[in-house]
Amino acid sequence: MELDPEIELSFIGQKGDSNLDLIRKYPKIKDIYTVRAGKFRRFHSLSLWQNITNFKVNLLNARDFLLVILGFFQAISALMRIKPDVIFFKGGFVVVPIGYAARLLRIPYMTHDSDPLPGLANRLIATGARKNAVVSEDVTTYPKSKMVVTGVPLSKEYRQRRGALQAEFKQQLGFPQNSTLVFVYTGTQGAKKVDDALEPLLPRILDDYSDVEIAYVFGRLNEKSKESRFVGLSQLQKSRIRTLTFIDNAYDYIAASDIIVCRAGATSMAEFSTIGRATIIIPAEQLTGGHQLMNAEMYAKDNAALIVKEAEMPVGLDKALRTLLDSPEYRKSMEAKLRLVAPENAAKSIAGHLIQIVTRSSR
């Protein structure tokens, strides 16, 4: 819209996706369609034989293959109604049926990967793409002739809060301005392993550091366990922990934070680095391809974040928290390094490439 006010946006998502509610709130999207999509389940932490003999998972994969076929025909119908000039694919299982439908209908498209290791869904449709957008020149999955480095697109709110003073946003969110805010944010779904590790640690942290306040997002999958956590805390300790299920203003909490405890999702890491906050990363090691480990390594090699592996919890997590709590100077140094590896305005770069694809296709 910023580059061309005449552009119209339509969205196709996966039927049943809970995040569609967020898309519906965005006024600039003209139409929203949904299609069925399947998921190919395989686990990085299991051997090839264990994956092959996991009959329950294989049955689910077989079922979802049929969903992909159904989604393919639904996507053809949706695309014939929308008649797009170009399609932008961000990854996820839903891009497979839509991508094959777009290729059949000769609609140009561009893929984007937020992780250093591109996801399987994008790799399946990459051959037919005009361009493959990636986060780093180190990506070797796609032909160099079609690969463009854009970084991870973020909403403008993150860039607007780059380097902002924590005290202003602490006051805005209702935390004491002189407090040290620890923000636990492991994604919209949450992370039970991290919750289990933090449960015995946080009461001791609150006892040992009287200025610490905690904002804790449990995620949708762990909503039921939220109330059962920290039941042994005193009323004073409970008053210093704000438990949340889901937030739509993560940028305000990041800006208010002194320390962030997080997973290594590519978009989340781009958000934290853009604003610039001392971060403890706990990669989800079981995810296929180990892409969160690779994401974490991108920041660890520049000493821009502390990495705690799941096997090191809870001791390693306790040590990392205390290291950052004990040294405001270290936190400030980390913030500066993190901002140096933050992505530029990736959204504007991606939009420019999409407009270029449309221009070349119309010649």
Identify the CATH number of the domain in which residue 255 sits.
Answer: 3.40.50.2000
**pLDDT per 10-residue tile (average), the chain, 363 residues:** 81 89 86 89 58 71 88 97 97 95 98 90 96 89 94 92 93 97 85 91 95 92 71 88 92 98 92 95 75 82 90 96 97 93 86 94 76
Same domain, 120 and 194: no
Same domain, 102 and 169: no
- pLDDT for position 106: 97
Examine residue 1 and state whether it is found in any structural domain, yes or no: no
- pLDDT for position 332: 95
Same domain, 170 and 278: yes
Please, are residues 237 and 209 in contact by the beta-carbon 8 Å criterion?
no
Same domain, 142 and 165: no
The number of folded domains in the chain is: 2
Examine residue 4 and state whether it is found in any structural domain, yes or no: no
Please, are residues 323 and 330 in contact by the beta-carbon 8 Å criterion?
yes
Same domain, 188 and 313: yes
- pLDDT for position 54: 66
- pLDDT for position 121: 93
- pLDDT for position 10: 96
Examine residue 3 and state whether it is found in any structural domain, yes or no: no
Rounded to the nearest 5 degrees, what angle is found at the Cα of 197, between the Cα atoms of 195 and 202?
A: 85
- pLDDT for position 335: 94
DSSP, collapsed to helix, strand or coil, labels residue 216 as strand
d(CA 35, CA 19): 14
Same domain, 241 and 111: no
The rounded Cα 142 to chain-centroid distance in angstroms is: 22
- pLDDT for position 140: 86
Please, are residues 106 and 128 in contact by the beta-carbon 8 Å criterion?
no
Same domain, 90 and 211: no
Same domain, 178 and 216: yes
Please, are residues 75 and 87 in contact by the beta-carbon 8 Å criterion?
no
Closest CA to 94 of 118, 58, 67: 67
The domain in which residue 115 lies consists of 9-153+344-361
Name the packing angle between helices 55-82 and 95-104 (round to 10°): 40
Examine residue 236 and state whether it is found in any structural domain, yes or no: yes
Distances from the Cα of 339 to the Cαs of 49, 140, 268, 302, 306, in angstroms? 43, 25, 14, 11, 15
Same domain, 112 and 181: no
- pLDDT for position 136: 83
Distances from the Cα of 285 to the Cαs of 269, 293, 296, 320, 350, in angstroms? 16, 7, 11, 19, 30
Examine residue 2 and state whether it is found in any structural domain, yes or no: no
Same domain, 85 and 189: no
- pLDDT for position 5: 79
The torsion angles phi and psi of 293, rounded to 5 degrees, stand at: -65, -40
Same domain, 218 and 288: yes
Same domain, 226 and 260: yes
- pLDDT for position 23: 87
